[in-house]
Amino acid sequence: MDELKSVLKGASYILAHTPDMVLHNGTTQTTERIVNPESEYLKELPNHLRTFDQALAYWPNQVYIGNKTPDELSAVEQPWYDKTCDVNSRYGKFGQMMPQEEFLLLMQACDVFDLVKLDKEFVAANKPALEANEIMDEAILSRITEGVELSVVEHFVNDEHAEPLYHNNVLVGCVIRAHDIDVNLSAHVMHENLVSKASSVLALLYAVKNAGIDKADVEYVIDCAEEACGDMNQRGGGNFAKAAAEIAGLPKATGSDTRGFCAGPAHAIVEAAALVAAGAYKCVVVTAGGCTAKLGMNGKDHVKKGLPALEDMIGGFAVVITEDDGVSPEFNLKILGRHTVGTGSAPQAVIGSLVTEPLERVGLKVTDIDKFSPEMQNPDITKPAGAGDVPLSNYKMIAALAVKKGDLQKADLATFPVKYGLTGWAPTQGHIPSGVPYMGFAREDILAGRVNRAMIIGKGSLFLGRMTNLFDGVSFVVQANTGAEKVEAGVSEEQVKGLIAKAMKEFAATLLAQAE
């Protein structure tokens, strides 16, 4: 029996521009409001918020949704925040950038417990725009209610501990608490979770479209975002995957959540690829919505240096993994990198466990991988905050290990990041940058023959949960479909049968001639 394979059928990437959530929901800002409510930072931050048009014209955002490529971005001199991209469409080949007013309506459509209350005048003014959105269907649009009087919203915010929703710094709605005393169902947590769910739904819709499959084809969904839903009896025991699949209209899907901080997406994709390769499911989608806590995370440094508040985007992605179609890039599950308990936290040890060790196990060199995609953090965001160019740092470490292993000449150290690397473009949404932003482009590059093998590297910081001091990480390889090679080599099963039949016929004719 032929070995089952899993392939990368499609990918989607979406952004939602949420400047008001930067002010009211980002952890840096909410903490500052408690510790130092009269701070100059909080007074100055509103002046640094971008308009939707400015967010559209930002180079990394256009790369994320697929209108520009990483190669095109690398040709643009850094920094990018003061430059305008020549493409400013909200729609890209991978997804879209959704404005805040539409995203608030999508949040309400994703709410099944009547927790999102929107001002009826806000709904009336903005529902037509969502109805015109290319990816919205009637099933989702029909879930939007007509809204309530603004006085009702004000009551919940002022008297019932509701989380306010703003647009252009004007109160337009709220998210009410789902329980009177359970902190896991507080308005703040419900707001975080509904944002994650709504952005995941948007990514799922595009993933199905981009992969060219029917919604009913999806059998399993894995959510790998950084939020957790549950109640006081099981804080993180909930299921974002099935909740988002319901709203996205995937009738045949079940699912579950996988968590691993920033490394979560890589873990989830390995699991999904293995499920398909094992024959458990024919079509699995890995999805993740965005994280409100990360909005404006480095805002103090950006404001201090006169930059826009660049962390104003909620990010999301989804990857469709199916059984082999003979064309799509395949997952090579024999090349898996793992940061184990015994690996340690030294940078060289981490990169060794994720890059060189899995390659050595199958007899490959570092240079046998055409593109590496580690943490694709946008350096426009991280460099002003003192974190440097994160992807470049990773590539320098990989190159140094390659030299040490004899896979690379020392003279090629400087060119390694250009030839084998990528310029970072992902929003700092925690799990979103960790390797997976390249998967959409990787599929295109492999199908076009520009890349044969690509390695996706996810890394995480488990110590953030105060349960361990360990780091985490996992890597996997996506490569050109080997089925195509067999056809080109003339060794398909039908061809083999034909050759055998022809040979037997010729042999019989020879014996007959000898007998005569």
Per-residue pLDDT reduced to its tens digit, 370-386: 999 999 999 999 999 99
Whether residue 362 is found in the same domain as residue 478 = yes
Whether residue 305 is found in the same domain as residue 156 = yes
Whether residue 297 is found in the same domain as residue 429 = no
Whether residue 200 is found in the same domain as residue 74 = yes
Q: Give me the number of domains the chain comprises.
A: 2
Length of the chain: 516
Name the residue with higher pLDDT: 220 or 489: 220
The answer to whether position 224 is within a domain reads no
Question: At 334, which CATH number?
Answer: 3.40.47
274 falls in which pLDDT band (50, 70, 90)? very high
pLDDT of residue 482: 94
Whether residue 310 is found in the same domain as residue 341 = no
Whether residue 398 is found in the same domain as residue 310 = no
Whether residue 28 is found in the same domain as residue 171 = yes
CA–CA dist 272, 255 (Å, integer): 11
pLDDT of residue 489: 43
**The domain boundary residue, chosen from 273, 297, 319:** 319
**Cβ contact 349:501 at 8 Å:** no
> What average pLDDT does range 2-24 have in this prediction?
95
Whether residue 337 is found in the same domain as residue 194 = no
pLDDT of residue 366: 98
The answer to whether position 267 is within a domain reads no
Give pTM, 2 decimals. Answer: 0.93
pLDDT of residue 515: 47
Whether residue 294 is found in the same domain as residue 422 = no
pLDDT of residue 511: 45
Whether residue 65 is found in the same domain as residue 189 = yes
> What average pLDDT does range 427-448 have in this prediction?
96
1 falls in which pLDDT band (50, 70, 90)? very low
Long-range contacts of 366-370 (CB under 8 A, 24+ apart): 366/398, 366/401, 366/402, 366/405, 366/407, 366/408, 366/420, 367/402, 367/407, 367/408, 367/420, 368/453, 369/420, 369/453, 369/454, 369/455, 369/477, 370/420, 370/450, 370/451, 370/452, 370/453, 370/454
Q: Which domain holds residue 140?
A: 8-204+288-319
pLDDT in tens, 414-430: 999 999 999 999 999 98
Q: How many CA atoms lie less than 13 Å away from 362 in the CB half-sphere?
A: 15
Pairing between β-strand 116-118 and β-strand 170-175 as defined by DSSP bridges: antiparallel
Strand partners, 10: 320
pLDDT in tens, 167-218: 999 999 999 999 999 999 999 999 999 999 999 999 999 999 999 999 999 9
Name the residue with higher pLDDT: 37 or 508: 37
The answer to whether position 1 is within a domain reads no
The answer to whether position 259 is within a domain reads no
Residue 505 clears pLDDT 60, i.e. is over it: no
pLDDT of residue 484: 56
The answer to whether position 241 is within a domain reads no
CA–CA dist 446, 455 (Å, integer): 12
Residue 512 clears pLDDT 60, i.e. is over it: no
**The domain boundary residue, chosen from 319, 339, 373:** 319
Whether residue 61 is found in the same domain as residue 188 = yes
347 falls in which pLDDT band (50, 70, 90)? confident
The answer to whether position 162 is within a domain reads yes
> What average pLDDT does range 110-134 have in this prediction?
98
345 falls in which pLDDT band (50, 70, 90)? confident
3 falls in which pLDDT band (50, 70, 90)? confident
Nearest to 331 by CA among 10, 9, 8, 12: 8
Contacts of 108 (CB under 8 A, 6+ apart): 116, 118, 143, 144, 145, 173
Helix, strand or coil for residue 196?
Answer: helix
pLDDT of residue 501: 52
The answer to whether position 255 is within a domain reads no
Structure token digits, residue 106: 């999508």
CA–CA dist 344, 342 (Å, integer): 6
Residue 510 clears pLDDT 60, i.e. is over it: no
Residue 477 clears pLDDT 80, i.e. is over it: yes
Whether residue 194 is found in the same domain as residue 336 = no
The answer to whether position 493 is within a domain reads no
CA–CA dist 440, 461 (Å, integer): 25
